[in-house]
Amino acid sequence: MDNTFTNELISIADAVMFVADSQNVKLEENIIKLRNVARMQQQNQRNFSQLPLVLQYNKRDMSPIIPIDTLQRFLNPLGWNYVETNAYAGPTEPIVAALHMLETRLIAYLKQAIIPSLAPFARLLSEFD
């Protein structure tokens, strides 16, 4: 996928499922990619720390892998929800759980950050009823 398109998409995303590769050799790449998500959000005047995000620690069936506590320390300082996925556990169950977590975080974010800011418009529209 074209990096320009990816960066533009990330900059306007309301929620992100961040898939981190659990292989030992991928830790630095994961950190760089997550920092890029933060940078793209901030360039669009969005607060990265409030972004509904769920981490998917992928390839947990590979060897050697990064321990969960290390992934958490380097990729999850804000305490987002996370799931572990691997090819042997079946492709859908953990991913569906992660999507549900992301949906829950997104709805909470919208209720807290977006919907209250629409109140003036709702009052304005009610005048036309």
Residue 1 has pLDDT above 60, yes or no: no
Which pTM was predicted? 0.79
The average pLDDT across 69-92 equals: 87
How far apart are the C-alpha atoms of 43 and 31, rounded to whole Å?
Answer: 18
Q: Name the CATH architecture for the domain at 3-126.
A: 3-Layer(aba) Sandwich (3.40)
Question: Which position has the higher pLDDT, 4 or 50?
Answer: 50
Structure tokens at 48: 């990265």
How far apart are the C-alpha atoms of 119 and 115, rounded to whole Å?
Answer: 7
Burial level of 30, CB count in 10 A (0-12/13-18/19+)? buried
